[in-house]
Amino acid sequence: MSSKDISFAPPRGMRDFYPEDMIERSFLFDTWKKSALRFGFQHYDACVVETMDLLRRKAGEEISDQIYTFKDKSDRDLALRPEMTPTLARMIAAKQGSLSFPIKWFSIPQCFRYERTTRGRKREHFQWNLDIVGDPSVYAEAEVIACAATSLASLGIQKDAYRVRFNNRRLLADLLSSYSIPEDQHPSVFLALDKKGKVPDEKIREILSENGIPETTVFKIDEMAACQSLDDVSSVVPTSPGLAETDRFLDAAAAFGIDDVLEFDLSVIRGLAYYTGIVFEAFDSARQLRAIFGGGRYDNLLSTIGGGDITAVGLGFGDVVVSELMRDLGIDSPPMTEDTILVGYMSDEQREVSTRIATALRRQGHNVCLASKAQKPKAFFKGAGGSNCAKAAFIGPDDVDSGQIKLKNLTTRDETVVAISEILKV
């Protein structure tokens, strides 16, 4: 291979994060973390590699075809996790006897999916996960959405910039039953309906007939999809338990102050097979991007993977789409000023004393960035101004002779004179 053929790009769909990219990423992660803590969620994490055995147990949708799989040296089938939810279910099942429910946990895992890459869609992304396990009430759905909305506000994304479209799979099931579509066909119909608007109707018909669903059902589904509002739906199934639950969800959302961002949308189904109740997806108001976050209730996942019968609700909020949205809205991440002292010196003769000063300051608990080459003061302070350090000290021969250095605050430009002997005392 000639050097001309060598590519320095990361594998397709994967990303590198240079220090300037990390400013944006750290701001996002910190915002997510603060919002989760504000709502009382506890931080957890897990390994990136998961067993195929677990992922197969909850399979049944497109995501299963997108898994990065490999065999380890002992021939075990492993995968890079495509999402965190099965891992969370496994972790809870493992300690189910000792956990006290309900639990509220959050994490920011990196997930891998072999997808067709488009704007907002990569083959690797970080996904903030918020889950409440063991709370059967629709207040749990409203709470995870309220927490996500809080983080959007902290990122500078106002309520008019997005909408959370929601639906209820239980209500949809009531509707399907009212159109005489048998219950055992519901899961396949859900996944086919999720494709509506994303692939040609012909393709949906094909998917349905591959799942043994007759042509007549397809026409009923088209008829049902004409329901636009909750009022339309309630005129078809006025006494449906799913409808009553949806009303309760709206009341809970009002109590959390997020009812104004919610919009009922019968076409929101979600591509994952495990959801059982309220499902939701947040989109930018201009509808330029893919979903900002999505989630819902998944009451059977724990038992499906072999754990106990425990209800669960959660959402996943990726880093890619929200970053695109912030760019579209002209929102910059605030510059990260680190509480770091930059220490520089005029010539190699002051390198030793500068190193001793830096070492003493570090022992006192300061972050210190020590220059690795001598510089003229002008060049040093120019560099210091462009850095994100909070303070700077420049040490020249006169400072060593006088036994004092000036510590400059790079924001206020104030200078404090400190005796070198004082610093080195520690």
**Residue with smaller CB distance to ligand HAM, 294 or 396:** 294
**Residue with smaller CB distance to ligand HAM, 57 or 121:** 121
Radius of gyration, alpha carbons of the chain: 28
Q: Which of 109, 134, 242, 316 binds ligand HAM (CB under 6 A)?
A: 316
Given phi > 0 = left and psi -120 to 50 = alpha, else beta, which region is 255? alpha
- Other Cβ atoms less than 10 A from the Cβ of 110: the count is 13
**Alpha carbons 234 and 287: distance in angstroms, whole number:** 27
Q: Which of 318, 326, 341, 343 binds ligand HAM (CB under 6 A)?
A: 318
Side-chain half-sphere of 150: how many Cα atoms within 13 Å?
19
Quote the least distance from Cβ 291 to ligand HAM, whole Å: 4
Quote the least distance from Cβ 405 to ligand HAM, whole Å: 48
Residue type present at position 374: A
140-169 residues in contact with ligand HAM (CB under 6 A) are none
Beta bridge partners of 376: none
Decide if 111 contacts 125 (C-beta within 8 A): yes
Contact mark string toward ligand HAM, 205..244, x via CB under 6 A: ----------------------------------------
**Residue with smaller CB distance to ligand HAM, 174 or 194:** 194
By CB under 6 A, residue 108 contacts ligand HAM: no
**Alpha carbons 236 and 149: distance in angstroms, whole number:** 32
Q: Which of 140, 155, 321, 342 binds ligand HAM (CB under 6 A)?
A: 321
Question: 311: which DSSP letter?
Answer: -
**Residue with smaller CB distance to ligand HAM, 242 or 295:** 295
By CB under 6 A, residue 277 contacts ligand HAM: no
Side-chain half-sphere of 207: how many Cα atoms within 13 Å?
19
Q: Which of 31, 35, 87, 127 binds ligand HAM (CB under 6 A)?
A: 127
Sequence-ordered list of residues with C-beta below 8 angstroms from that of 243, at least 6 positions apart, any chain? 171, 174, 230, 233, 234, 237
Give me 256's structure tokens.
């959390």
389-408 residues in contact with ligand HAM (CB under 6 A) are none
Quote the least distance from Cβ 357 to ligand HAM, whole Å: 46
Instruction: Single out the residue of 251, 270, 245, 249 nearest to residue 194, CA to CA.
Output: 270
Considering only the stretches 118-126, 156-164, 165-173, 176-184, report the one whose residues sit in contact with ligand HAM under the rule CB under 6 A: 118-126
Contact mark string toward ligand HAM, 283..302, x via CB under 6 A: --------xxxxx--x----
Given phi > 0 = left and psi -120 to 50 = alpha, else beta, which region is 180? left
**Residue with smaller CB distance to ligand HAM, 170 or 408:** 170
Number of amino acids touching ligand HAM (CB under 6 A)? 24
**Residue with smaller CB distance to ligand HAM, 11 or 212:** 11
By CB under 6 A, residue 344 contacts ligand HAM: no
Give me 424's structure tokens.
């080195």
Sequence-ordered list of residues with C-beta below 8 angstroms from that of 314, at least 6 positions apart, any chain? 85, 88, 129, 130, 131, 132, 144, 295, 296, 298
Tell me which residues touch ligand HAM (CB under 6 A).
83, 85, 113, 115, 121-122, 125, 127, 129, 131, 272, 291-295, 298, 314-318, 320-321
